[in-house]
Structure 1
Amino acid sequence: MKRPGPLLTLLAGLLLGVFLLSLNATSGAKNTSSSASPPPSSADTTKDTKESPAATQSPAPTKPTPSPSRTPVPNAGYAGRTDDGSSAVAVTLRDGRAIAYFCDGRNKESWLKGDVNDDGTMRLTGRDGSVLTGTLKEGKRIRGTVDIDGGRYAFTADRTKKPSGLYRATATVRGAQVDGGWIVLPDGRQVGVLTRDGEPSPAPRIDPETGAVTVDGQQLTALPATP
C-alpha cells in the first residue's frame, strides 16, 4: 500500500491554518464587544439629580399695611363765635353734606353749603361769594375761617346739644318775604339776622325748645336747618 504523498500533507496543513485563523477572529470580536463601557446605572442618575441646585422658590406675598383709622364724620351740629368775638358761626353735618350760617347779629349774614370729606375737611360756598373752609377735629369741634365781604374771620365751633344749634324760618308776613336765621350757642345766647324783602336787621329771639318766634305780630316757627 502506498503512503500519502507530500501534496496531501501540505493540503492538510493549509486547512488547519485556515481553521485557526477563523477561530482567532471570532474570539477577538467577542473581546472587543465585552470591553465597551456599561451604561450608567440608575443609582448614578439619582445621585446627579440630588446634587443639582434646588429650584428657586417664589417669595411669600407681602400683607398690605392697614391704613390708619379715622374718626367717622358724625351727623351733628356745631356752633361758636369768631376769634374776634364779632360774629357767630354754626354748621350742621348730615350724611357727608354740610350747611353753615355766618352772621354778626346786625346786618351781615351768609348761608353756605357743600360736601364734607372723609378726613373731616370741608369747603362750603354761599351765593354771595362767601367761603367757609374748615376741618372737623375728632368729631368734637370745627376749626376754620369764613371769607365774606373782603374780610376773613377765624372761628371755632363746638359740638352742640339741643336746643343749641342752627335754626331757620321763611314765610310771607304782611306781604313781605321774610327769611330769618338763628344761631343758639351752647351757653344759651342767640345771634341772628332777619331779612324782609332783602333788608337785614337783628332777629327777634326764638324759643329754642319749640322754635316759636313772633315777626311783625305774626307767629312763625323756626326749624333746625339741615343740608
Structure 2
Amino acid sequence: MKRSGPLYTLLAGLALGLFVLSLNATTGEGTSSYGEAPAATASPAPSTSPSGSGSASASAEPSASPSKASPTRTARAKTSYAGRTDDDSSAISISIRGDKAIAYFCDGRTKESWLKGNVEDNGEMKLSGKHGAKLDGRLTGDRVRGTTTVEKRPYGFTAKKAVKPSGLYRATTEVRGAEIDGGWIVLPDGRQVGIVRRDDKPSAAPPIDPDSGAVTVDGDSLTARPVVP
C-alpha cells in the first residue's frame, strides 16, 4: 500500500503538467488572434458636391455676366452735316435719319445734284443721283468725309455736324404756272449756298430766313423746310 502512493503522486503530476501545457497553448492562440489592431478601413467621407441632378441643373444655369449681342444696324436720330468741297468751289450737305441719307451738292450758280442712299453700320455710305452723280463717304464722329462726283467731275469734301439753323433745306411748289424747285445749304458760319430751278432752269437762290425758312421767289413768299430722308 505504501508503494501505490508514489504512483498516484506521479499520475497527479502528469495530469497537472498536461493541464498547464493545454492552458499555455490556449493563451498563445489568443495573443496571436487579437494582439494586432485590425487594419483601418477609411470610411467614405460625406460628399460635399451636389447630386448628379443638382450638378446638371447648376451647369445649365446661365452665366451671371450678360452676353453682348452682335452689332446690328443702329437707328440714328436725324442729323445734318454741312461743309465745303476741298477746292472751295461748292457746298455739300447731308441729312441722315436711321440708315437713310439724302445729300445735296451745289455751286450756287448752275451746278447741283440731289443724291440718296443707305448708311451702313460702320458709317460708310454710297449715294447716287441723276446723270451718274454719286457720293462715297464715311461718317466718323461729328463729320462726313468723302468724294462726290457730279457731271463726271470728282470733288473731295468734309461736312461737319450742323447745328440748327445750319443744314439742308428745300422748297417745291408752283408759282404763276412755273414749277419751282429750290435747294439751300446753310453752312455753320451762316453762309448760304443754293439754286432755284424755274421750269428746270437754274439760277442762284435768294437767301432764306434761317430760323423760319421763309423765302421770296418771284415776288411770292415760300417756305423752305428741312430735308428729312
Q: TM-score, normalised by structure 2?
A: 0.68
Q: Which residue of 1 aligns with 2:109?
A: 106
Conserved in 1, the CA contact under 8 Å of 2:78 and 2:228? no
Summarize the alignment of residues 132-171 of structure 1 with structure 2, pairs less than 5 Å apart. Answer: 132-138=135-141, 140-171=142-173
Structure 2 CA distance for aligned equivalents of residues 88 and 100 of structure 1: 11
Structure 2 CA distance for aligned equivalents of residues 74 and 68 of structure 1: 21
Q: Secondary structure at the match of 1:208?
A: coil
Report the CA distance between 1:66 and its aligned residue.
6.5
Structure 2 CA distance for aligned equivalents of residues 202 and 176 of structure 1: 17
Q: Which residue of 1 aligns with 2:88?
A: 85
Conserved in 1, the CA contact under 8 Å of 2:82 and 2:91? yes
Report the CA distance between 1:127 and its aligned residue.
2.1
Alignment counterpart, residue 125 of structure 2, candidates 118, 122, 125: 122
Deviations 1:81-131 (A, max 9, x none): 000000000000011100000000000000000110010000000022200
Structure 1 CA distance for aligned equivalents of residues 90 and 119 of structure 2: 23
Change (3 A) 1:74 1:136: farther
Conserved in 1, the CA contact under 8 Å of 2:195 and 2:204? yes
Report the CA distance between 1:68 and its aligned residue.
9.3
Alignment counterpart, residue 201 of structure 2, candidates 188, 199, 206: 199
Structure 2 CA distance for aligned equivalents of residues 83 and 67 of structure 1: 39
Paired residue type of 2:200: G
Q: Which residue of 2 aligns with 1:47?
A: none
Change (3 A) 1:134 1:67: farther
Give ranges in structure 1 of 5+ residues lacking alignment: 1-64
Structure 2 CA distance for aligned equivalents of residues 219 and 95 of structure 1: 32
Conserved in 1, the CA contact under 8 Å of 2:82 and 2:167? yes
Q: Secondary structure at the match of 2:110?
A: coil
Paired residue type of 1:175: G
Q: Secondary structure at the match of 1:128?
A: helix
CA RMSD of aligned residues (A): 2.4
Q: Secondary structure at the match of 2:154?
A: strand
Give ranges in structure 2 of 5+ residues lacking alignment: 1-66
Structure 2 CA distance for aligned equivalents of residues 68 and 88 of structure 1: 37
Q: Secondary structure at the match of 2:197?
A: strand
Structure 1 CA distance for aligned equivalents of residues 84 and 206 of structure 2: 19
Paired residue type of 1:113: K
Report the CA distance between 1:70 and its aligned residue.
9.6
Paired residue type of 2:80: G
Q: TM-score, normalised by structure 1?
A: 0.68
Structure 2 CA distance for aligned equivalents of residues 133 and 126 of structure 1: 12
Structure 1 CA distance for aligned equivalents of residues 152 and 191 of structure 2: 27
Report the CA distance between 1:174 and its aligned residue.
1.4
Q: Which residue of 2 aligns with 1:180?
A: 182
Instruction: Show structure 1 runs of 4+ deviating over 4 A.
Output: 65-74
Structure 1 CA distance for aligned equivalents of residues 137 and 164 of structure 2: 23
Q: Alignment length, in residue pairs?
A: 166
Paired residue type of 1:146: T
Structure 1 CA distance for aligned equivalents of residues 78 and 120 of structure 2: 13
Q: Secondary structure at the match of 1:205?
A: coil
